[in-house]
Amino acid sequence: MSDEAPSDRPGPAAPQRHVVFSHGQASGPWGRKITALAEVVRSEGYEAHSVDYRGIDAPRERIARLAEYCKELSGDLVLVGSSLGGYVTVASASVLHARGIFLMAPALYFPELPPLREGIVDCPAALVHGWRDEVVPFEHSVRFAESCRAALHLLDSDHNLHNQIRVIQNLFEYFLIALDLPALAFE
């Protein structure tokens, strides 16, 4: 019998859980939406990370930057992207073995972006988009959500979604909680 008290024994290490944010073309790594969602991330037991893409305009370079950033992370990985960061998130999700992706007004289906292959998403996905988005038409998110059977939330907002941050926090919290539920949560 051991002399250690049960409380002195190290327990199994908690699995590491990470959320990595990818910002849009005209914003930075800790903008309003990312900062607000990082609060949710921490409250759900994840570590919050945000990749700095400032000065990197080429989508493929951003994808490479995300892959380089994530190679040091182990455990569960959830990717979150806004606008061009949404494109980067989708393009990277299967390669990085993401547990889930959450997209905000993702810049998908633009002719100037490299095309994404069909069936690229192999994990749960949810999208938030503004009805009044003048940068990325909400129809692009409808098309993407339909193609991969993702949850889609259309909100009374524009591209930056700033007037809906609290709603987005709630939707994101539900998304993270649902990732921990049995597979039925996404069927």
Residue ranges covered by each domain of the chain: 15-186
> Band of the pLDDT at 147, cuts 50, 70, 90?
very high
* Burial (CB count <10 Å: 0-12, 13-18, 19+), residue 78: buried
One-letter identity of residue 77: L
Mean pLDDT of the chain: 90
Determine if the pTM surpasses 0.75.
yes
Spatial CB neighbours of 46, under 8 Å, sequence gap ≥ 6: 17, 18, 19, 76, 78, 176
Give the pLDDT of residue 120: 86
User: 158: burial class by Cβ within 10 Å (0-12, 13-18, 19+)?
Assistant: middle
The arithmetic mean of pLDDT across residues 75-88, rounded, is 97
The confidence score (pLDDT) of residue 187 equals: 53
Superfamily of domain 15-186: Alpha/Beta hydrolase fold, catalytic domain (3.40.50.1820)
Which pLDDT belongs to residue 181? 80
Say what the pLDDT of residue 6 is: 42
pLDDT of residue 26: 85
Answer yes or no: is pLDDT of 137 > 90: yes
Tracing tokens 């037991």 back to the chain, one arrives at 45
Mean pLDDT of 74-96: 96
Percentage of the chain modeled with pLDDT above 90 = 82
The answer, yes or no, to whether residue 1 has pLDDT greater than 70, is no
The string of pLDDT tens digits covering residues 170-185 is 999 999 999 988 654 5
Residue 12 has pLDDT above 80, yes or no: no
Decide if pLDDT at 132 tops 70.
yes
User: Which pLDDT band, with edges at 50, 70 and 90, does 60 fall under?
Assistant: very high
